[in-house]
């Protein structure tokens, strides 16, 4: 078999193992996050930088397609005025692999002052993001499927 076929199989194996590990982590925090979203009469606002931001944009688009009012808020734009779009009855989902993304950490105090719950999705459950969220979901993986750790 060619190296490219072996590489593809390795990616699938790594992803499969990550999903199996994720299944074991779905519990009380997941229930709390889901209830926040389901009980909210506001919008679901998703935020993240870099690759996490791209994932957040896809999540917002998928939620909108299923009838959940949602949008993506770029955290850097949030620092420069766009946090005015966040309302008291909204729910914010903040995504960061490290949980230490500066732009996300800097918008949290304003979101908290609005009494808007934050759901953190992070690979670091001991991070600043996780500690400052209403509920944190551990989305960390043992190994990234990408050879560049992306």
**Would you say 109 and 81 are in contact if contact means Cβ atoms under 8 Å apart?**
no
75-122, pLDDT tens digit by residue?
A: 999 999 899 999 999 999 999 999 999 999 999 999 999 999 999 999
Per-domain residue ranges of the chain: 3-138
Mode of pairing for the β-strands spanning 135-138 and 118-122: parallel
- Fold classification of 3-138 is Rossmann fold (3.40.50)
Cα separation values, 139 from 20, 33, 98, Å: 12, 13, 10
Q: What is the value of pTM for the model shown?
A: 0.90
- pLDDT, tens digit (0-9, with 9 covering 90-100), for 28-70: 999 999 999 999 999 999 999 999 999 999 999 999 999 999 9
């Amino acid at each position: 078999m060619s190296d490219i076929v072996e590489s593809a199989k390795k990616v699938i194996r790594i992803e499969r193992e990550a999903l199996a590990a994720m299944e074991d982590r779905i519990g009380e925090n997941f229930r709390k996050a889901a209830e926040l979203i389901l009980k909210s009469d506001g919008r679901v606002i998703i935020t993240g930088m870099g690759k996490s931001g791209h994932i957040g944009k896809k999540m917002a688009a998928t939620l909108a397609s299923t009838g959940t009012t949602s949008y993506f808020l770029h955290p850097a734009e949030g620092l420069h005025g766009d946090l005015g779009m966040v309302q008291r009855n909204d729910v914010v989902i903040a995504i960061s692999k490290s949980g230490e993304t500066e732009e996300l950490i800097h918008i949290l105090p304003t979101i908290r002052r609005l009494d808007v719950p934050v759901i953190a999705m992070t690979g670091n459950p001991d991070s600043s993001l996780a500690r400052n969220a209403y509920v944190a979901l551990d989305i960390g993986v043992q190994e990234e499927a990408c050879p560049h750790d992306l």
